[in-house]
Amino acid sequence: MIDTCQLVQEVGMKMNIKKIVGIVAVMAILAAPVLAGEYQLLRPAELKNMLKNKDFFLLDVHVPEQTHLPGTDAFIDYRKIRQNSRQLPSEKGTRIVVYCQGGGMSLTAARELLEMGYTHVYDLAGGTLAYNRLPD
């Protein structure tokens, strides 16, 4: 992984600070699951494929509630996952795919699910914004 200071030095004056901050943010998001060994990021195309033979729990956590992806099993506010645990699968080994609009809220929800003991948690990378850009 590239050190942030090294990245800034290498890029130098060729990029403005907004681009550098954006690159660093993306690097942090992509590295977080790998470093933490927790949930897995799921690409939108992978989810689309998985929906053909759905064998997982699909959870929308976006606030305010949005139009759900096909096959969504439940909507729970990302801040109220634990309080609404009755809506979640009782089997902690169930595969759960969490999504929101862009990825931030689902990241919080994915971490909460792991703290609650769920062992197969997937976070839709880029949320519905990325999923809806997929070709039909």
* Domain parsing of the chain, residue ranges: 4-35, 39-131
* Full-model pTM: 0.72
Express each pLDDT in 80-123 by its tens digit. Answer: 999 999 999 999 999 999 999 998 999 999 999 999 999 999 99
d(CA 133, CA 68): 15
Residues of the chain with pLDDT > 90, as a percent, come to: 66
- Which parts of the chain fold into alpha helices (H)? 4-11, 17-36, 44-50, 104-115, 127-131
The DSSP 8-state label assigned to residue 69 in this structure reads: P
Residues 119, 33 contacting (CB under 8 angstroms): no
- Does position 44 have pLDDT exceeding 90, yes or no? yes
d(CA 117, CA 24): 30
Residues 42, 125 contacting (CB under 8 angstroms): yes
CB atoms within 10 A of CB 94: 15
Express each pLDDT in 14-33 by its tens digit. Answer: 455 656 555 555 555 555 44
39-131: CATH topology is: Oxidized Rhodanese; domain 1 (3.40.250)
Residues 122, 94 contacting (CB under 8 angstroms): no
pLDDT at 66: 87
